[in-house]
Every structure is written in C-alpha cells, then in structure tokens.
Amino acid sequence: MLPPVDTDEEWDAVVPDESVMRPGAEDLCARLGLAGEPLTRFPDGSQPVYAVGDEHVLKLFPGAAAEDGITEGRVLSYLQGRLPVATPQVRESGPYENGWRYVLMSRLPGRNLAPAWDLVPQADRERLVTETGEALAVLHSLDPGPLEDVLGPGDWGAFLDGRRAGAVEQQRTRGLPDRWLEQIPDFLASVSLPRAPQRSLLHTEVMRQHLLVDPDGWRLTGLFDFEPAMIGDRAYDFVAVGLFVTRGDPKLLARLTESYGRTFEPTVLLAYTLLHVYSNLPWYMRELGVPAEGTLPSLAQAWFATT
C-alpha cells in the first residue's frame, strides 16, 4: 500500500502526503488486528507517527530510514521496565512493504512537556528536571552491550574525527555567520574530548518535546523517541538537555546535574553541540540568545553553566 521511499525526493513526495500515507497506515493496522481504530497523525517528528485509538502508537519508517526502525524496536524492547520513567512498550515490529518498517507500541499517558512548559510552576519545573536527571543516570548506567549490533558508532574517536572534519561546513549550510565559523576550528582544538569514553547508552535527543508529564501534579510520565539512540560518551546526551530542557537556565541545569550525579564543563558541552549529528547553531542562537562577547567560550557559559 505504501510506495518505495529510498531517496530524498521520494521522501518529500510521499511522507507528508496523507492521501498516500493514511491508506498504508490503515492497511497495516488491519493486518495487526486493529482495523477500524481511529488514526490520528502526530504533527511533529521526522517519521510518520499515528495514534491508533487510545492505547497504541504506530511509527512508520520508509526504506531510507529502515535501520532507524530496527533501532527503535530493539532499544525500546531492551529498556522496558528499566528506567524510573515509562518508555513505550513494543507490541509488534517488523517489515511492511516496499522497504518500509514499523513499530507498534503502547501509548504513554501524559501531556507533551514542550507546549505545557509555560503552565508549569517553578517548583514543579525543578522537580521535573530532577526526575529527568535521575532517568538519565539510570539510562547511562545500563550495559549497552546487548545493543552493540544495532547501535553505533563502534569507534567514538573516529566518530569525533569525522564530525570535526565537517563541523564548519555543517554550520555554514545552516547559515552561521563567518565571524562564528572562523572560531570553530580553534575552539574544538582547545577542548579535550575522550576518544575512548565509558560506553553509555545515549538517547541523544532528551528534550521537552520527547517528555510527557501529568498536568495533575506535574510529574514525569514518559520518555520516548529512541530512534536516534547511540552508544558513546554520556556528556553527548547533555547537549539536548541543556539546549531543550533547561534552555540556558543555570539553576535548572544545576538541579538536573545534581540529580544525575555529576556536572560537565560548559566548553565540553558546546564542543559536543558543534559535533552533534543534528547540530544547528544558528537555530540555537535564535532560541537561546547570544552573549555580548560574541565568542564560543562565552556561548558555552551562557548555555551550559550551572552557576
């Protein structure tokens, strides 16, 4: 029911088109014994994702992202019941048609934290970031060995080398001004990052958009979207935390890292920000602001300091 999607052009033509996607999702639901359940497509996310009734979520992965579907299913299955916050339970996963894969998972209770944040009282914000830090500490303590066949990178040092080599060009394509671009090589050279860190299971995108909360008491009820999971240095996970959970608030980041059990140097976190797979420095600057000094070390302090 769904056509092949193996190129960017096919992706752009097919994935946003509900006249194509919905019949495929309905067909797959019927095969999974969920015929007739109402389908509601979530508006956000890189992959097409549907709420199936009140109890299930169906996430679809075209051929161009089929490996991500394998990753999501394996990581969620491994994590089931292991974290202090709920993660989706895999009901079924596997291939569909024309290279597509799917993961059918349980629907977690709660409201997305990103649109709800402005309604959360300060004391409850502090508790939510505390719970997030506790969940990350447990995630990073798990043995990633059972997932090494599906998660990379195998060589963290080689991964960093590759990211450094493309860092300036990646930010140039994002529209970063020259006065910032020219600082990147020297800044990265000045920051010591481990080439063989303690290998930790990473979510890589712990952000308000991937956290669910109960508005009645503002407790953390879910963490989802493990499609971009990796194995590597745990500091890498604090890029998204600092940018999209605490958003440059030093008191909230201090509370989160206290519950996590350690802090990280701001320059280390900015270096990982520049090296992150999805790095987009101009976007972060628009969201969080830029210090008057106009240097990368000052940016590190503005976004990632805990005092």
Residues 288-297 have pLDDT tens digits of: 999 999 999 9
Contact 22, 60 (CB under 8 A): no
Candidates 304, 204, 290; CA nearest to 254 is 304
pLDDT at residue 44, rounded to an integer = 83
**pLDDT at residue 240, as a whole number:** 98
- Tell me the mean pLDDT in the region 221-237: 97
Mean pLDDT of 295-306: 97
What mean pLDDT comes out for the span 18-38? 96
Coil vs helix vs strand at 255: helix
Whether 201 shows a pLDDT value over 90: the answer reads yes
pLDDT tens, residue by residue, 156-175: 999 999 999 999 999 999 99
Close Cβ partners of 52 (under 8 Å, ≥ 6 residues apart): 29, 34, 37, 38, 39, 58, 104, 107
68-112 pLDDT, tens digit per residue, is: 999 999 999 999 999 999 999 999 999 999 999 999 999 999 999
Q: Are 275 and 188 in contact (CB under 8 A)?
A: yes
Contact in structure between 48 and 20 (CB atoms under 8 Å): no
Give the per-residue pLDDT at 274.
98
Averaged confidence pLDDT in the chain: 97
Residues 6+ apart with CB under 8 A from 177: none
List, as one string, the DSSP characters of 64-96.
GGHHHHHHHHHHHHHHTTTSSS--PPEEEEEE-
Q: What is the pLDDT of residues 35-55, one digit of tens each?
A: 999 999 998 878 999 999 999
Residue indicated by tokens 């161009």: 64
Q: In this predicted structure, what is the pLDDT of residue 205?
A: 97
